[in-house]
Amino acid sequence: MPARLVVLVSGSGTNLQALLDACADPAFGARVVAVGADRHDVEGLARAERAGVPTFVRRVEDFSSREHWDAALAGGVGAFEPDLVVLAGFMRLVGESFLGAFGGRTVNTHPALSPAFPGMHGPRDALAYGVKVTGATLFLVDAGVDTGQIVAQTAVPVADDDDVASLHERIKTAERTMLVDAVGRMVRDGWRVEGRRVLLGAAAGPAGR
């Protein structure tokens, strides 16, 4: 049985698309059973609809508090019984209800090499700092901002003539490959967490996830 992925998006959904494309191969070992968003009318939702994948939306502004929104988000995700939840360009912090239900099996992708440049503007902050190498990080979501244990990272050079958009595009190309590769390994071979370290595949040992 392929693992069940629920993917959450806020925008263009190119990371989601990479997962949808990978899941077309049964050997990948997963399928996207639903896509959720925190807003209507984003390309990520349209990509899901074109792929015939059910969608749901939970907008913060439709709830009386962040906590109620978070619980509703967790309910929306839980209805699809995911094995793994993937935040792919989902621009919201999840809270206690969500982490209570899906902590330890929710990953997020961030366009910087953690622990450098957490937050909403990884490419901009890396460029402003003047680093020569940046990249993307896949991590297990915790209550912090891009602070969870690192599952995978990929490095990307910064070019002298980069602006934020060109750098982010180069990061996103590498990020999609990293995401598909790491999610595939997680669902096929399992993972284990030892302190800050996440061990994938054979290194995770027979217990897997």
Kindly list the catalytic residues: 110
Site for ligand GRF (CB under 6 A): which residue of 31, 58, 92, 110? Answer: 110
Task: Please choose, from the candidates 102, 60, 56, the residue with its C-alpha nearest in 3D space to the C-alpha of residue 81.
Answer: 102
As measured in angstroms, the least distance from the Cβ of 205 to ligand GRF is 30
Residue type, 7: V
What's the burial of 27, exposed, middle or buried (CB within 10 Å: 0-12/13-18/19+)? exposed
* Angle CA 83–2–17, to nearest 5: 80
Residues of this chain, 32-51, that bind ligand GRF according to CB under 6 A:
44
Q: Find how far residue 30's CA is from the centre of its chain.
A: 15
For residues 71 and 86, which CB has a smaller minimum distance to ligand GRF in the complex?
86
x/- mask, ligand GRF, residues 80-109, rule CB under 6 A, reads: --------xx-------------------x
Applying CB under 6 A, does 15 fall inside the site for ligand GRF? yes
Site for ligand GRF (CB under 6 A): which residue of 172, 178, 182, 183? Answer: 172
Stretch near ligand GRF under the rule CB under 6 A, chosen from 9-17, 33-41, 181-189, 195-203: 9-17
Residues of this chain, 124-153, that bind ligand GRF according to CB under 6 A:
none
Site for ligand GRF (CB under 6 A): which residue of 175, 183, 198, 204? Answer: 175
Sign of CA dihedral 91, 96, 101, 104: positive
Using CB under 6 A, list all residues that contact ligand GRF. Answer: 9, 11-16, 44, 88-89, 109-111, 172, 175
